[in-house]
């Protein structure tokens, strides 16, 4: 990547590893791409360094509500976390940045502060007014590139079946097709869809969602010329011999897709929000409170998130003729 990109980072939970991996990954990215720039959103005291940051890295100052002790959550700083995320996302939406990269947040402490928050994907979709947003994880497993999207995200398993609906599945497959084509520059994306039940329902004997909802949605998208097939049993969908024939997978719920994905790509995966008006990527791990502030956090996922954000932003510009 030789073209200039201007990236934003929301630094996430201040008591976690977010602030330190933001700085380390940003420095590594700018070393490789010295003509690009990065703006990190958060309290400047979280990014104190024994050296002056290069001019390509700027801090957009947003003050903490209370002083932070690394590794210890404080619900009084929950509003700060939301402010950082909202400010960085709105600046990206308005065109100040080419893409947004988000560090991990702690959903529990945000909800403890009586702020409704189920996750980045849902929050950004509402902020952006997006009709359908799809959470997709991207990462490399040896020689294979994996992209796994989710039909449902952060909800109890008991609620998943009622959220598997014909209209939403069709919208998700359309969003996946469009973004894989326009932002990932894949000419004719190939999508493989999982079933909900064991053995993809066993012809209706283990559940009828495949027969009544998932298969009809797949056929509807096939009729539109989209290369999608399934539903596949989840335990055989990620067949290593078939990975090169698939550009993205659509799993029906969180752990169905991400257990296999993270086993293969742990700490190097990147979360991408499809369907937003702007490019957003994120790390695929949590706040790691137990090692926060010790200088030992692994920043590889944040670096990969920055790299993918830059690539997608440039692809988006090329697709729009900008």
pLDDT, tens digit (0-9, with 9 covering 90-100), for 61-112: 999 999 999 999 999 999 999 999 999 999 999 999 999 999 999 999 999 9
pTM: 0.90
Q: What is the pLDDT of residue 1?
A: 47
Binned at pLDDT 50, 70 and 90, residue 321 comes out as: low
pLDDT at 314 over 80: yes
Q: What is the pLDDT averaged over residues 152-173?
A: 95
Q: In what order do the strands lie in the sheet with 190-194?
A: 57-61, 37-42, 6-10, 99-102, 279-283, 270-274, 134-141, 144-150, 248-251, 190-194, 227-232
The pair of three-digit structure tokens given for residue 253, joined into one six-digit string: 């719920």
Q: What is the pLDDT of residue 84?
A: 98
Helix (H, G, I), strand (E, B), or coil: what is residue 189? coil
Q: What is the pLDDT of residue 141?
A: 77
pLDDT at 267 over 80: no
Window from 47-51, 133-137, 232-236, 293-297 with minimum mean pLDDT:
47-51
Cβ count near 182 (within 10 Å):
15
Domains detected in the chain: 1-130+276-322 (3.40.718.10), 133-274 (3.40.718.10)
Share of the chain above pLDDT 70, in %: 98
Q: What is the pLDDT of residue 322?
A: 58
pLDDT at 241 over 90: no
Helix (H, G, I), strand (E, B), or coil: what is residue 316? helix
* DSSP-derived pairing of the beta strands 270-274 and 279-283: antiparallel
Q: What is the pLDDT averaged over residues 228-232?
A: 96
Alpha helices in the chain (DSSP H): 18-32, 78-93, 107-112, 120-128, 160-163, 166-182, 209, 215-223, 234-237, 254-265, 300-320
Q: What is the pLDDT averaged over residues 42-50?
A: 88
């Amino acid at each position: 990547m030789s073209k200039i990109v201007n990236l934003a980072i929301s630094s996430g939970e201040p008591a976690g590893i977010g602030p330190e991996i933001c700085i380390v990954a940003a420095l590594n990215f700018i070393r490789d791409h010295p003509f690009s720039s990065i703006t990190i959103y958060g309290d400047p005291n979280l990014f104190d360094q024994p050296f002056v940051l290069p001019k390509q890295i700027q801090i957009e100052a947003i003050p903490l509500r209370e002083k932070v002790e690394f590794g210890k959550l404080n619900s009084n700083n929950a509003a700060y976390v939301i402010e950082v995320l909202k400010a960085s996302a709105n600046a990206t939406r308005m065109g100040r940045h080419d893409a947004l990269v988000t560090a991990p947040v702690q959903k529990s402490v945000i909800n403890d502060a009586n702020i409704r928050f189920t996750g980045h994907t849902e929050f950004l979709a509402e902020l952006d007014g997006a009709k359908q947003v799809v959470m997709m994880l991207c990462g490399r497993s040896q020689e294979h590139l994996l992209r796994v999207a989710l039909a449902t995200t952060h909800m109890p398993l008991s609620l998943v079946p009622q959220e598997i609906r014909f209209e939403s599945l069709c919208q998700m497959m359309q969003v996946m097709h469009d973004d894989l084509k326009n932002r990932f520059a894949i000419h004719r994306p190939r999508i493989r869809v999982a079933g909900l039940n064991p053995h993809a329902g066993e012809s209706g004997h283990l559940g009828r969602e495949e027969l009544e909802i998932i298969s009809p949605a797949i056929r509807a998208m096939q009729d539109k010329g989209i290369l999608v097939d399934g539903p596949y049993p989840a335990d055989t969908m990620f067949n290593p011999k078939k990975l090169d024939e698939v550009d993205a997978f659509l799993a029906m719920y969180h752990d169905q897709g991400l257990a296999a994905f993270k086993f293969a790509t742990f700490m190097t995966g990147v979360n991408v929000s499809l369907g937003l008006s702007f490019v957003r990527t994120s790390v695929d791990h949590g706040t790691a409170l137990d090692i926060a502030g010790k200088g030992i956090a692994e920043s590889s996922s944040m670096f990969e998130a920055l790299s993918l954000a830059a690539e997608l932003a440039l692809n988006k510009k090329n697709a729009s003729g900008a």
